Chains A and B, each alone.
Chain A
Amino acid sequence: MHLAYPAVLSALLFCTGLYGVLARRNAILVLMSVELMLNAVNLNLVAFDVWLSRAAEETLHSGQALTLFTIAIAAAEIGIGLAIVLAVHRNRGTADIDKLRDTAEGHDPDTSDDDARTAPQAAESGRTGKAEATA
């Protein structure tokens, strides 16, 4: 198989992921797009490893080893990411990235409209979230 096919595929995957990261508003979808980008890189690693090891007399397949590594780390990362999103959703009642602007310059955490408006809602969703988690 020619190297161009996996390379083009991974480029497409990467661009799709990039578009998702930049354009999606739901944090879960953003995380999924990040996964797409990671996997595009994985695909590249494997393809180039195969292509390079074909010419070499001896090889350690370090590209493939690195891919396994990346998959393991990506699993851990997505676990933490999803946990954060879950916690944010419980507190704020939303996972919309456009509404999570606490780090903006000039943002006053005390008079935050998000906080004020969503506090009871968040508490409620927190309870339901906990209930779901325990159930």
Chain B
Amino acid sequence: MTTLAVLVPLLPFLGAVAGLLLGRTAPGFVRPLAVLPPLVALALAAVVAVRQGGDQTVNAATELTPTGSVPIELALYIDGFAALVAVLVAFVATCVQIYSTGYLRDDPRYPSYAALVSLFTSAMLLVVYSGDLIVLLVGWEIMGICSYFLVGHYWETPEARAASLKAFLVTKLGDVPFLIGLFALATDAGSFRITKVLDAVAHGGLDHPTLIALLLLAGVAGKSAQFPLHTWLPDAMAGPTPVSALIHAATMVAAGVYFIARLLPVFEASQAAMVVLAVMAAVTMIGSGLAALAQDDIKRVLAYSTIGQLGYMTGALAVGDRGAAVFHLLSHGAFKALLFLAAGVVIHAAGTNSLAAMSRMKDLSARVPDAYWTMTEALLALAAIPPFSGFFSKESVLGAAEHVATGHTAHAPGAAGWITLVAGLLAALLTAAYATRLWLLAFRGRGAEAPDHGRQPLTMTLVLWVLAAPSLALGAFTYRVLPDWFDGRDLTPTLTTSVVGTGVALIGGIVTYAAWRHTIAVTARVPLGAVAAHPEGDAGLVEAEAIATHEPAYGDLAYAPDPADPGRLLLGPLHRHAAVGFHLDALYTALFVRPVQAGATLVRFLDREVVETYVRGAGTLPRWLGTAVRRAQTGNLQTYVSALLAGTVVLAVAVVLVATGA
């Protein structure tokens, strides 16, 4: 059992190493090396999950070498949550690797891309299985660097370069407090082992629970793209779509949520931290919902949607229900990966990533029927319409919030319950609205015929149907199987929240539909469009070009001046602000980027003008002396000999004077 579990993160790692080594010398091995390790890891993770069965926690550790005061051990800690999340990670990673073989089939950098995705998968599995916080941190940082490289896959475009740097710096901004928080936690608990930390918390052994929880929360906010550190995620969409699906939707951004779920008792030890968590979740949910409604790039809509759904998970954690949080993590991982992969197919077929341009194409749905049907299903799951999986997971979150709000529990403050419940219902309305808008604009366009790019590769469409299964059916496990793996708490939807939640979702959808009917007439009158220049290229190339041409065509990365957009009608004057993410980027530019750049200018000035002045001054005196001495070089030999003679005479006289003692 332990060996199997160790092999799960190890196999993709070996695959990554082999892929990097053989990428140039043996191109034929690259695709098998990319697909097989995650596939085997998926099988092993499934075996581990079934054997674990939610009962006995696998808890093994080995200490490689003594590391001083607080020991660091290679430890496994596999409870039901870890087992199921690992299955999800391996599943989505396998799907993405298969999809990438078609998506990036002509890409010259495919070998390194596949190896990095494998390395990322291995790091995420390490985070999921690790029982030691420092080992977990290692996986956490490897994921960060993989994300940096993969977002910058199209480093020829300035958008990708800027986005990869931004993603790296913003997440690091959270990771520094995270590291300090881990140290503080280990100092208080006396160990980095999760089991020992949880023991210490259970016996009231933490001296500074609020400080530790808030420090850890900063890292979680950076990784899971929660307000106020969420700004990197929409820009990270400059990476290839499979990367967005795997890293920026299904797995890596869920690592923060998963981390809190693992250490929930640490957070529960501080009521203040739980309220902060709830406020963070509420702001994230509502803000991202509004922003998603105003985005023009289809992938940015999905990115803001991811931020919002992660907000649901943190909300569930704020009310102390990690079962609901991880359940939503699982179902969201499946349907959001599906949404992104389908969006990749749609972008390829349409030759653009702009919803405004898609809304002027007729019959896009007929061009890509697989993407159309699976995306419809995933959007229904996203909008939490029964009986799709999103409904069950979202209702379990809302149910938990309602449970806490009505004061049935002592482990979470009632305020957190109310905040999460109200924000969750509002966000459900917004989610349904932007899901409907996305679907209507992408697939119900009017205007010219959509361009024909031939059939999509089988690897790309097949994966969509594979991912569609859990999006559809995961909810069915709510009643029987899932609670065994989780804490055993009830996950079934309660009547009140189900009715209210589904009701607001329907209202959101219907209002958006009405707005769309209202604006549809304008669509034909305002021609818009930025379509990629090389529609015959592979999907990755089309997408890179679509992202690169969006700003020249519309003047902004996220915004299109489309009067026919139902989101514009719904948001009214808010639309302008929502499209740019409520000016948070501008605020951060004014608050942090400009001061740092001004500081850099100051340092440059000090170096160039002050320090170098001293250096130059030190050099000036010898140069003057040298100039004076050079004057003596007349080139006349006899002058030199005369000087020599004069010197000799002077020396001789001096010696004589000294010798005679005068």
Contact = CB atoms under 8 A, between A and B. Distances in A.
A22 B636 contact: no
B617 interface: no
A18 B649 CA distance: 13
Contact of B635 (A18, A21, A23, A102): A102
Interface stretch (B124-132, B404-412, B562-570, B638-646): B638-646
Interface string A37-61: 0000000000000000000000000
B633 A105 contact: yes
B641 A101 contact: no
A97 B634 contact: no
A106 B637 CA distance: 16
A104 B630 CA distance: 9
A104 B642 contact: no
B638 to A, nearest CB: 5
A22 B641 contact: yes
Contacts of B638: 21-23, 97-98
| Most chain A C-beta atoms within 10 Å of own C-beta, residue among B631, B632, B635, B645 | B635
Interface string A92-108: 00000110111111110
Q: Is the interface of B mostly helix, strand, loop or mixed?
A: helix
Interface string B623-635: 0000000111111
Contacts of A104: 633-636
Q: Is the interface of A mostly helix, strand, loop or mixed?
A: loop
B636 A105 contact: no
A67 B479 CA distance: 121
Q: Which interface class (under 10, 10 to 19, 20 to 34, 35 or more) fits B?
A: 10 to 19
Interface string A72-105: 0000000000000000000000000110111111
Interface residues of A, number: 14
B645 A103 contact: no
Contacts of B645: 18, 22
B624 to A, nearest CB: 15
Contacts of B636: 97-98, 101, 104
Nearest to B632: A105
A14 to B, nearest CB: 11
B630 A105 contact: yes
A58 B101 CA distance: 104
A107 B632 CA distance: 13
A97 B633 contact: no
B234 to A, nearest CB: 66
Contacts of B632: 105
A135 to B, nearest CB: 32
A23 B645 CA distance: 13
Interface of B: 630-638, 641-642, 645
Interface of A: 18, 21-23, 97-98, 100-107
7 contacts: A22-B642, A23-B638, A98-B638, A101-B635, A104-B634, A105-B634, A107-B635
Given A21-B638, A100-B637, A105-B632, 20 more contacts: A18-B645, A21-B641, A22-B641, A22-B642, A22-B645, A97-B636, A97-B637, A97-B638, A98-B638, A100-B635, A101-B634, A101-B635, A101-B636, A102-B635, A103-B633, A103-B635, A104-B635, A104-B636, A105-B630, A107-B635
